[in-house]
Structure 1
Amino acid sequence: MTTRPPVEDLSPQQAIEELAALAAALDRANRAYHQADAPEISDAEYDELKRRNAAIEARFPGLKRPDSPSEQVGAAPSETFAKVRHARPLYSLENAFAETDVPEFVDRVRRFLNLPADAPLAFTAEPKIDGLSLSLRYEAGRLVSAATRADGEVGENVTPNARTIPDIPARLSGAPEILEVRGECYMSHADFAALNARQAEAGARTFANPRNAAAGSLRQLDPSITAARPLRFFAYAWGELSAPLADTQTAAIARLAALGFATNPLMATCTSTEEMLARYRAIEAQRATLGYDIDGVVYKVDRLDLQARLGFRSTTPRWALAHKFSAERASTRLEAIDIQVGRTGALSPVARLLPVTVGGVVVQNATLHNADYIAGRDSKGNPIREGRDIRVGDWVTVFRAGDVIPKIEDVDLSRRPADSVPYRFPDTCPVCESDVVREPGEAVHYCTGNLICAAQAVEKLKHFVSRGAFDIEGLGAKAIEAFFTEGWIREPADIFTLEARHGADLRGRDRWGEKSAGNLFAAIEARRRIPLDRLIYALGIRHAGETAARIVARHYGSWGRFAAAMQAARDHEGAEWAELNDISGVGETLAGSLVDYFHEPANRDAVARLVAELAIGDVAAPAASGSPIAGKTVVFTGTLERMTRAEAKARAEALGAKVAGSVSARTDYVVAGPGAGSKEKAARELGVAILSEEDWLALIG
């Protein structure tokens, strides 16, 4: 989120500009959320924008805009649906984000009603359902209309769709002549998961969370689509009435339940601030097990005559408060710990969670990093989470911010099952049962199975066709998994013989056909010519990322020279080994990983089969036009006074030079500053040209 200056530091002109920007941003967010059912920002970001707008308006009341977001509820109704004017407006609720906001709310209510601190005052507390607001109008016991909230004054007519929802009665017995029932249309977690699975299977759009799914399902032009979607409805309020339902909020909700509406069983009556907060914590603790999304707890003054006295502000009732949960954190139960095996053999533990919505996304999995993280310590053995380990069955706090992968932040030991046991990291691979090792100084465990491990083979193939590698369009993760299972592709070379071996089979396969198969084979053919750096990266050699592959490829230039160097350096000694280690940006770890990969006979054979199918392009070091050092090898030693060592290396490489870490017979220049030692001496012994920093700067211009 953008960092903004404190409100108290704003000038009037800055306030005017920011209020305009906030109005535009909130209007876009409202339209995306209420009309398109496709939120563009998270609830936390939206709430922060609203708070910022309110704070600026409080400091500069004279600058409040006519279209101020603080005076609006929802968004204008969509032009797609007929409009329905609500007999009584649908208001939004004032939000609270801290426990201290709750006693302040209670005190405001008491002050407005002129009630002393010891006078009895009851509130209801109920879950705040995260769905789509819906108003149902009954006349003479018959459902005559159903409308969304929209802007609170005028909603969208979705009556045919609402009639398909099982929780909404078509007729009522014993109801007032006119009754508007208000509540929330939602979708359960299980139904949401099943719907998304069906959507994905059909190649249709999937939904980010149950709220979006419910809104998108209700706002369909074809009621049969809504009927096929598993929507539910909770009643929690009312609009126009021809006769009162009851004297209290509690009794009125009970009356709605008696009429046949689903109401939330977690609603309770509280007689003190302490009871309200206790109820909030109790509902939050059950959040993950409810089976549907809630994003807070709503408090309402229980007596309806007091609600009438308190009345409304412009957009919110004075008698109600929504106490929101954190948008980026939630508690849920850890159901299992699974181990995933990556292309390098790294074993990655993944938490399988009871689904919970965090930051607008349904979270079912979270990273557990490694064995140390699970055990409650860092890589150096120091305690994290005060040493609390993570066990299956634990209740954990899940954290998610923006698009970051969800993480487990902490463990609630008070809810740990009595029979729980510490998690034991596997000592054999869960896929191929090969031994698992953890090298000294490493935080990660590795499977030793290499090519016999199916998980590594599949992940290596996925990496091979990924964007930074061969980038073969149409050959994605699912296709790789399917072809591997069929036995059609088991190693990279098989990709380039796929058409010859299984072209006819693929063209007759479901969801492929002549056109799709032809496109895939054309994409494969287009990748038979590949630059050396992309080939090295595509092989998935440990530590050889895109940058490292580019550095190595630029040094050796051609596949022939690179392959010969790897073979010659197989014993980690000799001139070729020294040259590899001398490449700036390589080092012993990467050098060892490259050499060891090609020392493995199975790898060498697989690469040989692959190379036979390819035309590998040479990679030249970048060179500026007319550069006097293009293709030269340079070593820097001593202290540079006009630029940093890193700057000097970057400048040399930009001009086409190769920067080495040690002096050899292949070195062209040694740039020596004050304090130069053994490298300068070696240069003199080998007859290599030695330049001062001034000489070097003059040479490169």
Structure 2
Amino acid sequence: MTRLEELQELIEYHSDKYYNQDDPEISDFEYDELIKEFRALEGKRDKVGGTVKREFRKVEHDTPVISLSDAFSKDEVYDFVEKMQRELQEVEFIVERKIDGLSVVLRYYDGVLKEGITRGDGIVGESVYENLLEINSVPKEIPTKLPYLEVRGEVYISDANFQKINQKQEEMGKKLFANPRNCAAGTLRQLDPSIVKERNLDIYIFNLELVEGKQFATHTETLAWLASQNFLVTPEYKTCVTDDDVWDTIQSIGKSRWKLPYGIDGAVVKVNSLYDRERLGTTSKVPKWAIAYKYPPEEKQTIIEDIIVQVGRTGRLTPLAILKPIRLAGTTISRAVLHNQDFILNKDIQIGDTVLVRKAGDIIPEVISVIIEKRKENSIPYQLPDNCPICHYKTDKEASHAFCTNPQCPAKSIKGIIHFASKSAMNIGGLGTNSVEALVNNGYIKDIADIYNLYIYKDELIEKGIVGKQKNTEKLLKAIEKSKSNDIDKLICGLGIKNIGKQSAITLATYFKDVDELKNATYDQLINLPDFGEIITNEVIDYFKLPKTMKMIEELKDQGINMTSKIKNLKNDNRFYGKTFVLTGTLKHMRRERATEIIQSFGGKVSSDVSKNTDYVLAGENAGSKLTKAKELGINILSEENFEKLIV
């Protein structure tokens, strides 16, 4: 796989985690870095956006809801302004705050709100109309009764409300939201509108998309009119003419961002004239008349007061810096992960050092460097301990990492159970960190097999409120029961075998018909699997040699957990070798992720873009522009039924 293909897969994966699942695994800054590298290699921006979720009614957008091209430097901003000045006469710009939330489109018929749609994949979104009715700042009716009006805005949650919500989540033993953006997005996708009302979401309108019965010349005219119609529009926007004016306004917004009562993730620069916008048009990815400037993370100095160690599910010891608390990127931080011994040595970090820190993507605290000239004589070099700080067993060193050798270490057990229930593994909704810790601490769970005995204690769990009251407890038990029918790649991933992640688990489920065949696999069988080397091969063999593993597998069997692969056994079956597929639209009988796994298991490749090198387009409902392009290029188009015939 080339780096370009690898980046494309990473961007698609993290885009889905961000837009669809509201559960990003990387920071915005890291995501932007992937996009920048992809652009540099291919010279164009890949499609970034989620596919629609099935819980909500799908609605096609009247006009594509596309993202903006990003800028990360002063030079890029000046290049954009100067390009517009070359192509247009007497061009005027608007600079606005880029609110960090979830983009939605509101549709008004004869002045009454009749529909509200999320961005989705830009072509098809989700109807969240009922939820939008619970947001006080969304006008349900406007004074001017135009035949049709469509506006675009950003739903967000204030920092104060975010703190209240997370406090309540913590009190109820639920997973905390990572940041206000995820909280707003997750709330707007709730099936119960009362939750939306309770959480006090807000909205700012930043663009008039379509209108019938009225004409405007500029963006500022539309914002002024929208404000007169009781919409809350993007606050304190400024009109600029020169590149210096634009840059100064961007800098001014940046200086005030941490004082705002809500989060922003950049500043938007737009051409003001609507005529000029139409004349410039858009590419298939972005408008040519606007860019979004992304601010670099804020950096500050603080002191490392101590270094402690956390123990993960694999037993890996991870050092954590205890910082003198400082206000950074809008919140107070007091900790930062130091990763491993090499990280500490390479940056020459010592206890007592003054360090420069930032929050990558304004989310994750990290130590950038040590201010050596401020080092005190009594600062102390740090070395990872020889014994586990939780159970005090001896540790093993592997490269720069240290691992606890005790298979019964309490820290490993809790982290292992959390991993088993995670989305990438058995996907047991409601069994997050707080719930697992509560169940373990109250004696209901000791290992993963105990999860499937929780139904015995249903009444007791409800009475004590261990994972919430009746509704939450019943929801959890239902998710546990549902997980029994997962394919074995989910189970294999959930077992926590060292170095076996999601893709390796799929490979094992593809080449072994059941868990019994896998546990008896030989070295020669494993070493010849795609992307399996000696280390991974030995990890699998050693894991299934453990008596504890055998006991747990038998217990899971007794509980009715599926142990047989649902993927056709594909040893030596490379029927799709050399073939490239593109998936588009919503499939009825399988997730697109599963279809991708099947194609790859047959030796095929899955791409995100239709081109002359595409062999097949698998088209579900609401297939959109990819299907259109495939027809234009004469590419073979498969229905889901035809695809199922190919994989029998």
- Report the TM range for the smaller structure's normalisation: 0.5 to 0.7
For 1:228, what is the secondary structure of its paired residue?
A: helix
1:25 aligned residue: 10
Out of 38, 52, 64, the residue aligned to residue 53 of structure 1 is: 38
Q: Distance in 2 between matches of 1:368 and 1:38?
A: 20
1:130: Cα distance to partner? 1.3
Q: Distance in 2 between matches of 1:32 and 1:313?
A: 25
Q: Distance in 1 between matches of 2:194 and 2:56?
A: 16
Out of 215, 220, 224, the residue aligned to residue 250 of structure 1 is: 220
* 1:237 is the counterpart of 2:210: no
* 1:222 is the counterpart of 2:192: yes
For 1:138, what is the secondary structure of its paired residue?
A: strand
For 1:87, what is the secondary structure of its paired residue?
A: coil
Pair 341,317 (structure 1): closer, same or farther in 2 beyond 3 Å: closer
Q: Distance in 1 between matches of 2:378 and 2:208?
A: 66
1:110: Cα distance to partner? 2.4
Q: Distance in 2 between matches of 1:201 and 1:193?
A: 12
**Structure 2: runs of 5 or more not aligned:** 310-320, 339-347, 383-387, 394-402, 416-432, 439-460, 468-648
Q: Distance in 2 between matches of 1:260 and 1:245?
A: 19
Q: Deviations over 1:223-277 (max 9, x none)?
A: 1222222211111002221034632212211221221122232311111111111
- Report if aligned partners of 1:287, 1:331 keep a CA contact under 8 Å in 2: no
1:511: Cα distance to partner? 6.4
Pair 167,332 (structure 1): closer, same or farther in 2 beyond 3 Å: farther
1:167: Cα distance to partner? 1.1
2:140 aligned residue: 170
Pair 170,199 (structure 1): closer, same or farther in 2 beyond 3 Å: same
Q: Distance in 2 between matches of 1:247 and 1:187?
A: 32
The residue identity in structure 2 corresponding to 1:365 is: S
1:341: Cα distance to partner? 11
Pair 399,25 (structure 1): closer, same or farther in 2 beyond 3 Å: closer
After TM superposition, the structure 1 = structure 2 runs for residues 323-342 of structure 1, keeping only pairs within 5 Å, are 323-326=293-296, 329-330=297-298
- Report if aligned partners of 1:185, 1:214 keep a CA contact under 8 Å in 2: yes
Q: Distance in 1 between matches of 2:148 and 2:414?
A: 60
1:77: Cα distance to partner? 1.4
Out of 51, 66, 74, the residue aligned to residue 91 of structure 1 is: 66
1:309: Cα distance to partner? 1.6
Out of 229-238 and 399-408, give the one that drifted further.
Answer: 399-408
- Report if aligned partners of 1:189, 1:355 keep a CA contact under 8 Å in 2: no
The residue identity in structure 2 corresponding to 1:364 is: I
Q: Distance in 1 between matches of 2:357 and 2:378?
A: 31
Pair 478,170 (structure 1): closer, same or farther in 2 beyond 3 Å: closer
* 1:104 is the counterpart of 2:73: no
1:198 aligned residue: 168
For 1:227, what is the secondary structure of its paired residue?
A: helix
The residue identity in structure 2 corresponding to 1:45 is: E
Q: Distance in 1 between matches of 2:300 and 2:87?
A: 39
Out of 134, 152, 177, the residue aligned to residue 182 of structure 1 is: 152
Q: Distance in 1 between matches of 2:404 and 2:172?
A: 26
- Report if aligned partners of 1:333, 1:354 keep a CA contact under 8 Å in 2: no
Q: Distance in 1 between matches of 2:42 and 2:389?
A: 57
1:298: Cα distance to partner? 0.3
For 1:238, what is the secondary structure of its paired residue?
A: strand
1:189: Cα distance to partner? 1.6
1:209: Cα distance to partner? 1.0
1:350 aligned residue: 323
For 2:325, what is the secondary structure of its paired residue?
A: strand
The residue identity in structure 2 corresponding to 1:124 is: I
Pair 40,472 (structure 1): closer, same or farther in 2 beyond 3 Å: closer
Out of 54, 68, 71, the residue aligned to residue 79 of structure 1 is: 54
**Alignment RMSD, CA only?**
4.5
- Report if aligned partners of 1:168, 1:233 keep a CA contact under 8 Å in 2: yes
Out of 299, 314, 321, the residue aligned to residue 291 of structure 2 is: 321
Q: Distance in 2 between matches of 1:404 and 1:164?
A: 32
1:410: Cα distance to partner? 10
For 2:163, what is the secondary structure of its paired residue?
A: helix
For 1:48, what is the secondary structure of its paired residue?
A: helix
Which has more radius of gyration? 1
Q: Distance in 2 between matches of 1:403 and 1:85?
A: 33
For 2:15, what is the secondary structure of its paired residue?
A: helix
Out of 29, 39, 42, the residue aligned to residue 24 of structure 2 is: 39
- Report if aligned partners of 1:132, 1:186 keep a CA contact under 8 Å in 2: yes
Larger relative CO (CA 8 A, sep 6+): 1 or 2? Answer: 2
1:153 aligned residue: 123
For 1:29, what is the secondary structure of its paired residue?
A: helix
Pair 49,182 (structure 1): closer, same or farther in 2 beyond 3 Å: same
Pair 512,366 (structure 1): closer, same or farther in 2 beyond 3 Å: closer
For 1:100, what is the secondary structure of its paired residue?
A: helix
1:488 aligned residue: none
Pair 286,78 (structure 1): closer, same or farther in 2 beyond 3 Å: same
- Report if aligned partners of 2:23, 2:182 keep a CA contact under 8 Å in 1: yes
Pair 209,276 (structure 1): closer, same or farther in 2 beyond 3 Å: same
Pair 128,144 (structure 1): closer, same or farther in 2 beyond 3 Å: same
The residue identity in structure 2 corresponding to 1:26 is: I
Q: Distance in 1 between matches of 2:298 and 2:34?
A: 22
TM-score by length of 1: 0.48
For 1:38, what is the secondary structure of its paired residue?
A: coil
Q: Distance in 1 between matches of 2:62 and 2:361?
A: 40
Pair 199,404 (structure 1): closer, same or farther in 2 beyond 3 Å: closer
- Report if aligned partners of 1:124, 1:302 keep a CA contact under 8 Å in 2: yes
1:463: Cα distance to partner? 8.0
1:364 aligned residue: 333
1:510: Cα distance to partner? 6.3
After TM superposition, the structure 1 = structure 2 runs for residues 395-544 of structure 1, keeping only pairs within 5 Å, are 398-400=358-360, 405-407=365-367, 442=380, 471-472=409-410
TM-score by length of 2: 0.52
Out of 98, 110, 113, the residue aligned to residue 143 of structure 1 is: 113
After TM superposition, the structure 1 = structure 2 runs for residues 648-663 of structure 1, keeping only pairs within 5 Å, are none
1:462: Cα distance to partner? 7.2
- Report if aligned partners of 1:288, 1:354 keep a CA contact under 8 Å in 2: no
After TM superposition, the structure 1 = structure 2 runs for residues 251-400 of structure 1, keeping only pairs within 5 Å, are 251-326=221-296, 329-330=297-298, 350-354=323-327, 356=329, 364-365=333-334, 398-400=358-360
Q: Distance in 2 between matches of 1:283 and 1:152?
A: 28
2:182 aligned residue: 212
Aligned length: 391
1:287: Cα distance to partner? 1.2
- Report if aligned partners of 1:75, 1:151 keep a CA contact under 8 Å in 2: yes
The residue identity in structure 2 corresponding to 1:288 is: W
- Report if aligned partners of 1:351, 1:367 keep a CA contact under 8 Å in 2: no
Pair 405,34 (structure 1): closer, same or farther in 2 beyond 3 Å: closer
**Structure 1: runs of 5 or more not aligned:** 1-13, 59-67, 370-377, 391-395, 412-422, 424-437, 445-459, 483-506, 514-701
1:125: Cα distance to partner? 0.6
For 1:298, what is the secondary structure of its paired residue?
A: strand
1:471: Cα distance to partner? 3.9
Pair 238,339 (structure 1): closer, same or farther in 2 beyond 3 Å: same
Q: Deviations over 1:101-154 (max 9, x none)?
A: 1111112212333x4xxxx32211111111110100011111100000011111
- Report if aligned partners of 2:53, 2:126 keep a CA contact under 8 Å in 1: yes
Out of 141-150 and 198-207, give the one that drifted further.
Answer: 198-207
Q: Deviations over 1:282-339 (max 9, x none)?
A: 111111111211111100011222222212111211110111112xx226899xx997
Pair 243,133 (structure 1): closer, same or farther in 2 beyond 3 Å: same
For 2:32, what is the secondary structure of its paired residue?
A: helix
The residue identity in structure 1 corresponding to 2:174 is: A
